[in-house]
Amino acid sequence: MNVGSLMEKSGAYLVSERRRREQNAPERPRLTKPSLTISRQIGTGAPEIARGLVTVLQQTEEPGSGRWEVFDRQLVEKTLLQQNWPKKLAETITEEKRFFIDEVMDDLFSLRPPSWELMPQLIETVRHLAMTGHAILVGHGATIVTANLPNVYHVRLTGSLPRRIERIQNVRGLTRDEAAKFVKLQDHRREKYLKAHFDARLDNELLYDLTINTDRIPDADAVSIIAEGARRFFSML
């Protein structure tokens, strides 16, 4: 088995399939229900900022218009449930932890779905949630998957390596060396994930409506800035 060749073929298939669907998709009616994606570097406070956004954005919603919700690991959980795979697999299947050789072996022994089965369903789940509205979609290539949807506001959270290491050290109770190793490993894995499945890099500033440097902007201020930008964007829908 040529693992490298299989990896290239699976990645190329997913990219070409995504492009084919976008090109051949029927024209959709104008979408008016807002959604938001958050692309982040590890250690930039995305979970805390996303939770803050739910509270702030909900305050200005009309009664009965829907509730904002954060989707991170839940994206994988929903996809697995739709395919009748155990929900607990979401604990081990994440954008940072999937290794191709593990997928091949696990697929042979029916332990978990390989990425070439999971990713098309994950893409459909992300698009469905974005079009349904009031979704804050964190990671998993959501920015790229929803790039052609007019109702989605795209945010990028960035930070310097030292500050991101410091945050992870505090959040996870690690030594600085442990935190540094963790951050660098996650950065590398996320880069591979986006390249393999979407043939993309998330450091392309043209993908985003707003980029926040979390070294300089505290979480609470980041929430306020994102919420205000999103409201102005959504008011034009």
Q: List, for residues 166-175, the tens digit of each pLDDT value.
A: 999 999 999 9
Round the CA-based radius of gyration of the chain to a whole number and report it.
18
Q: Which of 46-50, 70-74, 114-118 has the lowest mean pLDDT?
A: 114-118
Following CA atoms 173, 179, 183, 185 in sequence, which dihedral angle do they give, to the nearest 10 degrees?
Answer: -110
pLDDT of the residue at 80? 55
pLDDT at 86 > cutoff 70: no
Mean pLDDT, the chain, rounded, equals 77
* Range list of H helices, the chain: 3-24, 46-59, 73-82, 100-108, 115-132, 142-145, 161-172, 176-198, 219-234
Mean pLDDT to the nearest integer, 153-164: 96
Percent of the chain surpassing pLDDT 70: 67
> CATH number for the domain including 10?
3.40.50.300
Q: pTM of the prediction?
A: 0.73
Which residue range forms the structural domain that includes residue 189?
3-25+33-234
Q: Helix, strand or coil for residue 36?
A: strand
DSSP 109-133: TTSS--HHHHHHHHHHHHHHHHHHS
Mean pLDDT to the nearest integer, 120-125: 80
Q: What digits encode the pLDDT tens for the residues 28-37?
A: 445 568 999 9
Rounded-to-integer distance, Cα 213 and Cα 226, Å:
12
pLDDT of the residue at 194? 80
pLDDT of the residue at 184? 92
pLDDT at 109 > cutoff 90: no
pLDDT at 190 > cutoff 70: yes
Burial status of residue 98 (CB atoms within 10 A of its CB: 0-12, 13-18, 19 or more) = buried
Q: Which residues contact 41 (CB under 8 A, 6 or more apart)?
A: 157, 158, 159, 164, 187
pLDDT of the residue at 62? 76
Tally of structural domains, the chain: 1
pLDDT of the residue at 37? 96
